[in-house]
Structure 1
């Protein structure tokens, strides 16, 4: 198929989470080279799947690389839950709402954004400008026969969202609405950037690999007729005991979305997969392979195919030295 702007295809890149030096290396491996402070390819463009920030050692570098590419027309991007978190964490509630911040400043939430704040601490104007740029990032993208969303493509929800926001970009009213669990904005932001979470039975917890205690598990959306927890779980942390055999209740089934095999190719991030990149379905690729946990920063080279090909994954392992606190940037973009 012919692509918009006459390019050959797109290189979709999963959750970077502040691994900026590895992002630069992956772009070079994909054939992008820096000119005028911007990574460019003569025949291709990048699509970032969100979650540029938090946790990693070179967050400002990761944001700068991606933002410059997007603003120069060399790349596109969709919003991840970590960009959404940053927006709500830094906004005060409106008068009379009964809260102080849209995202509560709990120890858990503080910990998630701590590394980002530390790396922008001496650059407050840059951080405010970065937050303003996050507001320009769409929640989803459909282009040249592919679809991109950070966590879950829910067609009925997306149709309602686009009727209200045709450019797929949220506004301040949406952000303030999104903290009310009974609101449409909450449902849309939760589903598209965080996916579906199934609550665990009362008293059951998962000690997650990222150091958090979780009382839900992440569920995928491509099982045609799921019956058990094991049919839909999509995360590296195993369920305790024999919970994978537990039957999904009618209420739990009603929470799930479904993306069928005849739908266009879809790319997501978010689910911190592990191991060698593989396709969970013939028309779905997850590109989050736990880069910030010494995993892989993964791309998929898409050339218009409807059935995806696992041989088209490209990745770089994130070395442990990537985790060291960066001295003045090793990659000069100026």
Structure 2
């Protein structure tokens, strides 16, 4: 799938920040030629979540799609592209749902900005939905890997026997509406990551305004002892929860991405601060661009361990109109 003659620029969640994306591509040495951002020696690799939330979703999709179509980029599926597909895809009979992504008020709020920006461009939106269906859930280049949220070999290996290039079909998306199915487990784990229920029925309202009974967890800690050791999200756990010891069964159920595995790049997790590796073989490139954070890239050449000096980013300044 990837051109071995090129080096790569791996780019985190765009979320409709099209002008910020153009600034980043310019900083990386890409030039807009014949309407497409191009580089003579490099390809851009997008980690998904191009849609939702931001001010220029349609423009951002055109930038990324046109680069992919011209051979200047690849893009994997994020949970927001999957959710957009689910919003319009009828669920299988007997699933108890009308659509894969149920049309609840909460789900409607998450996709509202995208649907609003495409309201006068229905053919354009349908074309992008068709494109979303072609996006792979992962890329395994041997030396490095890309997935939106979490690499789980126990799911990816059987998935690639069925879909060798990681591109699933419409039936797979429909099957993912059935809770506990293989398709549902794949989409939840690879696109949303791992999580754990908060103790004692506790719920937390995050910075995004959503109230959750679960918190996002790390999938690489070797010997965690408490909830605080595995939390991986912008919203901190209350101190009494963070200090709660993990049970033996909770520890046993945790996923682990070992340090001797290939380099892995993910998005999804709304990081903050100065971009840096999590470990020598793991980096998250989502630094909350749409929340006035940073749009981040990693410049990958022939290294086999992540180099802290090779992160490139542009800051997203207020007001939003400056993006």
Cα distance in structure 1, aligned partners of 2:316 and 2:113: 18
SS of the equivalent of 2:77 reads coil
How big is the shift at 1:4? 3.6
2:132 paired residue number: 134
How big is the shift at 1:252? 2.7
2:205 paired residue number: 207
Cα distance in structure 2, aligned partners of 1:90 and 1:276: 38
Q: TM-score, normalised by structure 1?
A: 0.93
How big is the shift at 1:303? 1.0
1:332 paired residue number: none
Distance 1:183 1:249, change over 3 A: same
1:331 paired residue number: none
- What do residues 86-131 of structure 1 show as CA deviations (whole Å, max 9, x unaligned)? 0011122244443222111111101100000000000001001100
1:273 paired residue number: 271
Map 1:217-296 onto structure 2 (within 5 A): 217-296=215-294
Cα distance in structure 2, aligned partners of 1:186 and 1:55: 24
Match for residue 41 of structure 2 among 24, 40, 43: 43
How big is the shift at 1:254? 4.1
Alpha-carbon contact 2:149-2:266 (below 8 Å) kept:
yes
Alpha-carbon contact 1:21-1:322 (below 8 Å) kept:
no
What stretches of structure 1 move > 6 A for 4+ residues in a row?
none
Q: Runs of 5+ in structure 2 lacking a partner?
A: none
2:149 paired residue number: 151
Cα distance in structure 1, aligned partners of 2:177 and 2:96: 12
Map 1:141-220 onto structure 2 (within 5 A): 141-143=139-141, 145-220=143-218
CA RMSD of aligned residues (A): 1.5
1:300 paired residue number: 298
2:62 paired residue number: 64
Map 1:71-110 onto structure 2 (within 5 A): 71-110=69-108
1:6 paired residue number: 5
Aligned residues: 322
Alpha-carbon contact 1:10-1:301 (below 8 Å) kept:
yes
Distance 1:175 1:250, change over 3 A: farther
Cα distance in structure 2, aligned partners of 1:292 and 1:258: 30
SS of the equivalent of 2:200 reads coil
SS of the equivalent of 1:252 reads helix
Q: Runs of 5+ in structure 1 lacking a partner?
A: 327-334
Alpha-carbon contact 2:142-2:262 (below 8 Å) kept:
no
Cα distance in structure 1, aligned partners of 2:30 and 2:122: 30
